[in-house]
Structure 1
């Protein structure tokens, strides 16, 4: 929810930039933790017959959620182009 432009802006109040960067860092740590947890589920279910699909599905789902959030953050427009910055 934080545009890159606002992270680089120097006109913030005292400490707001640091809080925004800390929030972004924690968000990505949680997302990477979800990917690591789903890999752990994959490893745990790979030895059981019929449960390998659950592990693969959880890894794929959490990875796609992380990738979509990174793509959204990278290509989100700043509003100066009418909302269609990447298109």
Structure 2
């Protein structure tokens, strides 16, 4: 929980300290990273067996794959927004983009920590 909270703390700090209004697009990577962490924590490790013929396990593996795709897309989007913030002078500061990347990394790490220890 502390790692998740630290990730959101970075983001809230960047938004509060920003001299310009941060657009909603900058919020999306963190929101989707949180949703992805929730998605892969909906699956228990005990439910995933490695038999290739059971349909329920196939669906769980597909759900996990989709959760990981969402998590990596959110991380890539936050890196893209960091690059955009560093190139555009009229938008939010580079700290806003850096905080977005840190937020995604910390939220996804917290989700993985919880999933492996649960």
TM-score normalised to structure 1 length: 0.76
Task: After TM superposition, list the pairs within 5 Å mapping 1:39-78 onto structure 2.
Answer: 39-47=79-87, 48=89, 51-76=93-118
The 4+ residue runs of structure 1 with deviation greater than 3 A are none
More helix as a share of residues: 2
* Unaligned 5+ runs, structure 2: 1-41
Secondary structure of 1:2's partner?
coil
Of 37, 43, 54, 2:77 maps to 37
TM-score normalised to structure 2 length: 0.57
* Unaligned 5+ runs, structure 1: 77-87
Larger RCO: 1 or 2 (CA < 8 Å, sep 6+)? 2
2:40 corresponds to 1:6:
no
Structure 1 vs Structure 2 CA RMSD: 2.0
Conserved in 2, the CA contact under 8 Å of 1:7 and 1:17? yes
